[in-house]
C-alpha cells in the first residue's frame, strides 16, 4: 500500500535582540525583535491515516507526553487548519522533540508552524496560503515569525512580521541550563522602563560588525529571567568566557542563551569546553539558517 507523508523541520527561533515597548490593554506586550533561525530543529512528520493521532519522541519528548497530546500546539495547529479548510483532521503526526521545552527558542511555536506547512503539503494547499497566515497568530505570539521562516523583525505582539537584514554567515552556540521558563512568568516579572524599537541601521558587513550592532541592543526580558533563575547568569558568563565568543545573549524569555561565533568550528570548540564543566546543561552548536526549508513529501512506500 502506498503511504503518503510530508515532513517539515521546526527550526529553533532565536531572538538576537528583544525590546519590550509597552503593554497592551489585553495584557500582551508590544515587542520589537530581530529573529533568526538555526539549523537545530524539531521534526514534524504527517502521514495520511484513518483518524487523528500525535506521537511524540526525541530527547525532550517525555515532558510533552506527560502533559498529554491534546493540548500540544501541534494538535491545536492541525485541528485549526483542518477546520479552516473544511476537512477532517485525519492524519498521524510524529513530533521528534530535539529542542528543550519552555526555553525561549520557540519550540512549540516552531512546531505549530511546521505542522501547518507539512499538512498544507500533504493536503495540496500552498504553504504560503492566506489561511495559514491568518491562523498563525491565533496559535501563539511566535507562530507568525516561525511560519515566515526567514530572518525577520517582528513587532506588535508578534503578529507584524517583516523581512530582516541580510546577515553574514555565523555560528550560534545554544546553551540551556535545564530550567523551564514559562514565557508568561518572565513577562510578569519584568520591571523598568519601556524601550524603543531597535532595528539595525544597516546590514552588517561581517560577523564582528554584526556582534557590535547587536551589543547596542539587548534582551529586555533578560534581567527578569535572571531574577527567576540565577543559572542563566552562569550560562551567559560561561559563553562569554569561551574563545571566539563575539556576543552572549539570552533568547526570548529564556532560559536558552546564544553565543555568537564566526564559524561552527569555534562554536563546537566552545560547546566542548562548556560541556566538560557543565555536563548536565544542554549545549548545541548550530549555524545560522537564512531560510527554513519548505515542507516536503518524504515517503512513498
Ligand X SMILES: Nc1ncnc2c1ncn2[C@@H]1O[C@H](COP(=O)(O)OP(=O)(O)O)[C@@H](O)[C@H]1O
Please give the residue ranges that form the binding site for ligand X (CB under 6 A): 64, 67, 72-74, 101-104, 106-109, 111, 182-183, 252-253
To the nearest whole angstrom, how small is the minimum distance from the Cβ of residue 252 to ligand X? 5
To the nearest whole angstrom, how small is the minimum distance from the Cβ of residue 184 to ligand X? 7
To the nearest whole angstrom, how small is the minimum distance from the Cβ of residue 18 to ligand SUD? 6
Element (H, E) at 74: helix 73-85
Q: Is 156 annotated as a binding residue?
A: no
101 binding partner (options ligand X, ligand SUD, none; Cβ < 5 to 8 Å by kind): ligand X
Assess 140 for contact with ligand SUD (CB under 6 A). yes
Q: How many CB atoms lie within 10 A of CB 77?
A: 31
Q: Grid coordinates in use for 155? A: 513587532
Residue pair 118/132 in contact (Cβ under 8 Å)? The answer is no
| Closest to ligand SUD by CB, 189 or 287 | 189
Q: What is the rounded CA–CA span in Å between residue 178 and residue 109?
A: 19
Does the active-site annotation cover 13?
A: yes
As to burial, measured by CB atoms within 10 angstroms (0-12 exposed, 13-18 middle, 19+ buried), residue 156 is: middle
Q: Is 108 annotated as a binding residue?
A: yes
Q: How many CB atoms lie within 10 A of CB 14?
A: 28
Q: Grid coordinates in use for 27? A: 495584557
Site for ligand SUD in 148-187 (CB under 6 A): 157-158, 183-184, 187
Does the active-site annotation cover 203?
A: no
Residue pair 109/13 in contact (Cβ under 8 Å)? The answer is yes
Q: Grid coordinates in use for 41? A: 530543529
Assess 52 for contact with ligand SUD (CB under 6 A). no
Residue pair 264/287 in contact (Cβ under 8 Å)? The answer is yes
To the nearest whole angstrom, how small is the minimum distance from the Cβ of residue 109 to ligand SUD? 4
Q: Is 110 annotated as a binding residue?
A: yes
Of 27-35, 36-44, 193-201, 232-240, which part binds ligand SUD (CB under 6 A)? Answer: 27-35
Beta strands in 74-122 (DSSP E): 91-96
Concatenating the DSSP letter of every residue in 46-90 gives EEE-SS-EEEEESTTHHHHHHH-GGGSHHHHHHHHHHHHHTS---
Assess 144 for contact with ligand SUD (CB under 6 A). no
Among residues 165, 135, 134, the alpha carbon closest in space to that of 152 is found at: 165
Q: Is 33 annotated as a binding residue?
A: no
Assess 96 for contact with ligand SUD (CB under 6 A). no
72 binding partner (options ligand SUD, ligand X, none; Cβ < 5 to 8 Å by kind): ligand X
Q: Grid coordinates in use for 182? A: 514559562
Q: Is 297 annotated as a binding residue?
A: no
Applying CB under 6 A, the residues found at the interface with ligand SUD are 15, 18, 28-29, 31, 33, 104, 106, 109, 140-142, 157-158, 183-184, 187, 252-253
Catalytic positions, please?
A: 13, 142
Amino acid at each position: 500500500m502506498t503511504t503518503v507523508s510530508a515532513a517539515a523541520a521546526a527550526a529553533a527561533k532565536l531572538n538576537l535582540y528583544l525590546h519590550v515597548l509597552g503593554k497592551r490593554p489585553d495584557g500582551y506586550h508590544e515587542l520589537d525583535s530581530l529573529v533568526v533561525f538555526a539549523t537545530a530543529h524539531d521534526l514534524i512528520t504527517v502521514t495520511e491515516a484513518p483518524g487523528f493521532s500525535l506521537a511524540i519522541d526525541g530527547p525532550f519528548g517525555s515532558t510533552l507526553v506527560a502533559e498529554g497530546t491534546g493540548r500540544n500546539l501541534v494538535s491545536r495547529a492541525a485541528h485549526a487548519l483542518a477546520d479552516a479548510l473544511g476537512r477532517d483532521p485525519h492524519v498521524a503526526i510524529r513530533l521528534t522533540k530535539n529542542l528543550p521545552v519552555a526555553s525561549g527558542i520557540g519550540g512549540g511555536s516552531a512546531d505549530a508552524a511546521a505542522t501547518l506547512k507539512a499538512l498544507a503539503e500533504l493536503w495540496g494547499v500552498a504553504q504560503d496560503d492566506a489561511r495559514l497566515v491568518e491562523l498563525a497568530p491565533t496559535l501563539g505570539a511566535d507562530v507568525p515569525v516561525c511560519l515566515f521562516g526567514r530572518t525577520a523583525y517582528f513587532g506588535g505582539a508578534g503578529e507584524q512580521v517583516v523581512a530582516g537584514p541580510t546577515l553574514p554567515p555565523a555560528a550560534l552556540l545554544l546553551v540551556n541550563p535545564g530550567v523551564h521558563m514559562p514565557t508568561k512568568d518572565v513577562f510578569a516579572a519584568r520591571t523598568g522602563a519601556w524601550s524603543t524599537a531597535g532595528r539595525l541601521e544597516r546590514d552588517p558587513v561581517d560577523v564582528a560588525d554584526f556582534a557590535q550592532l547587536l551589543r547596542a541592543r539587548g534582551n529586555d526580558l533578560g534581567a527578569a529571567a535572571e531574577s527567576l533563575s540565577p543559572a542563566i547568569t552562569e550560562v551567559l558568563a560561561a559563553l562569554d568566557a569561551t574563545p571566539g565568543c563575539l556576543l552572549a545573549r539570552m533568547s526570548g524569555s529564556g532560559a536558552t542563551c546564544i553565543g555568537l561565533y564566526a564559524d561552527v568550528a569555534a562554536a563546537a570548540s566552545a560547546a566542548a569546553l562548556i560541556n566538560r564543566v557543565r555536563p548536565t546543561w544542554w549545549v548545541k552548536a548550530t549555524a545560522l539558517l537564512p531560510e527554513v526549508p519548505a515542507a516536503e513529501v518524504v515517503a512513498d512506500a
